[in-house]
Amino acid sequence: MPITRLSLTDFRSYADALIAPGPGFVVLTGDNGAGKTNVLEAISLLTPGRGLRGTALSEMARHGGAGGFGVSARLGSGDSSVELGTGTLAAQPERRVVRINGATASAAALGEWLSLVWLTPAQDRLFAESAGSRRRFLDRLVLALDPGHAHDSSRYEAAMRQRNRLLAGERPDAEWLAALEAAMVEHGQAIAARRAALIDSLGQRLADTPTGPFARAGLALDGFDAGADFVRALAGGRSRDAAANRTLTGPHRQDLIVTHLDKGVAAASSSTGEQKALLIGIILAHAELVAEAHGRRPLLLLDEVAAHLDPVRRTALFDRLATGGGQVWLTGTEREPFEAIGTNASWLAVENGAIRPD
């Protein structure tokens, strides 16, 4: 369901903002630093995780505000609508509060109602950065297909942190270690299986896509063998992990390997423009995959996506997004690059912490 109402309170640059967008394109324009990306970040908090910037919750509260912040949204309309809300209280700036239709809920439960994927300028060099960045990108794609991924990821991380703390002690309890490792295996195998399934289905869709304005990506996973005996690897690696002060095997060590199919080279060796085209191609193919699986596309947040695209690629992007349907939020400093969208859009101007129809 699209967002039909978005409210921000003391979030980043906004003391109070209210948006009532339409179901298709939502275009926010304004100068650099006006607060366009802040709107996308607020929306990204309506799913599990720390949002598209990944910063601490306390950093999201407006300077000079009450100390906490609130983000709420209505999805859909009428009897089929749902109200999602999240934020923090001044007394507990790092404790996230989540409500669904007014009732307290877990952050993982948000994924049952809203699936979204984002693309930001910070991801332009994703393929040349750390494996962790690519892994988080991959998990966001998985989460849009299967909300249960958030639960397994949080339980796996919690068990691994406890195991690491236990191994740091002088005489760790063997039974406790075994229990924690069993939890890591249970949730870790679920994580790895979902990732592998996505790589297979998304990779096949990309390979079958005709050559066009956006480069086709080849996808693979590296760094963890899901078919290996994970239980034995954890138990046998306790001394090594204790010395390293971290767990050295598991799905948290996986990496997303991307290649430029048409050139047969690693994405990291491609030009910046080609890497951007590869990312866009992945996002578009993934949105179509989600639409087939769930009957609806994920909500897309595309920050400054048109900035480095030539007119041909921009038009191709907007045409493909329009054909696929669903709600797409776009930002840019000027309106001109988005003119090809036409009248099928909610046009919003952002300036000095305020948002108005444009």
pLDDT at residue 358 in the model: 84
| pLDDT tens digits, one per residue of 127-156 | 988 999 999 999 999 999 998 999 999 999
The length of the chain in residues reads 358
pLDDT at residue 247 in the model: 96
The DSSP code sequence of 280-321 is: HHHHHHHHHHHHHHHSSPPEEEEETTTTT--HHHHHHHHHHH
Mean pLDDT of all residues in 287-312: 88
pLDDT at residue 50 in the model: 87
Mean pLDDT of all residues in 274-284: 89
Task: For residue 123, give both structure tokens.
Answer: 């991801």
Mean pLDDT of all residues in 272-281: 87
pLDDT at residue 214 in the model: 84
pLDDT at residue 324 in the model: 81
* pLDDT for residue 170 is more than 90: no
* pLDDT for residue 310 is more than 90: no
Tokens 């691994």 found at = 160
In angstroms, the first-to-last Cα distance of the chain is: 24
Amino acid at 195: R
Higher pLDDT, 195 or 271: 195
Name the band, by pLDDT with cuts 50, 70 and 90, for residue 307: confident
Mean pLDDT of all residues in 194-202: 96
- 210 three-class SS: coil
Burial 160-179 (b: 16+ CB within 10 A, else e): bebbbebbeeeebeeeebee
Q: Yes or no: say if 62 and 13 are a contact pair by the CB < 8 Å rule.
A: yes
* E strand segments, the chain: 3-11, 14-19, 25-29, 69-75, 82-89, 92-100, 103-104, 116-119, 217-222, 255-260, 265-266, 299-303, 328-332, 345-351, 354-357
> Quick one: CA dihedral 193, 196, 198, 204, positive or negative?
negative
| pLDDT tens digits, one per residue of 8-59 | 999 999 999 999 998 899 999 999 999 999 999 999 999 988 899 989 999 9
pLDDT at residue 313 in the model: 86
pLDDT at residue 308 in the model: 76
Q: Yes or no: say if 168 and 245 are a contact pair by the CB < 8 Å rule.
A: yes
pLDDT at residue 271 in the model: 85
* pLDDT for residue 211 is more than 90: no
The vertex-341 CA angle with 115 and 40, nearest 5°, equals 35
Residue 23 gets which letter from DSSP?
S
Q: Return the half-sphere exposure (C-beta side, CA atoms, 13 A cut-off) of residue 251.
A: 26
Q: Return the half-sphere exposure (C-beta side, CA atoms, 13 A cut-off) of residue 338.
A: 27
User: By CB neighbour count within 10 A (0-12 exposed, 13-18 middle, 19+ buried), where does 224 fall?
Assistant: buried
Which one, of 300, 354, 352, lies nearest residue 331 by Cα?
300
Residue 33's region, left for phi above 0, alpha for psi from -120 to 50, else beta, is: left
Name the band, by pLDDT with cuts 50, 70 and 90, for residue 243: very high
Residue 17's region, left for phi above 0, alpha for psi from -120 to 50, else beta, is: beta
pLDDT at residue 84 in the model: 96
pLDDT at residue 340 in the model: 86
- 196 three-class SS: helix
Q: How far apart are CA 270 and CA 94, in angstroms?
A: 39
**Hey, how many other C-beta atoms are within 10 angstroms of the C-beta on 59?**
11
Q: How far apart are CA 62 and CA 25, in angstroms?
A: 28
pLDDT at residue 209 in the model: 86
Using only the alpha carbons of the chain, give its radius of gyration: 21
The answer to which of 64-68, 160-164, 179-183 has the lowest mean pLDDT is 64-68
Name the band, by pLDDT with cuts 50, 70 and 90, for residue 198: very high
- 148 three-class SS: helix
Q: Yes or no: say if 232 and 184 are a contact pair by the CB < 8 Å rule.
A: no
The mean predicted confidence, pLDDT, of the chain is 92
List of residues 6+ apart from 255 with CB closer than 8 A: 131, 134, 135, 221, 222, 223
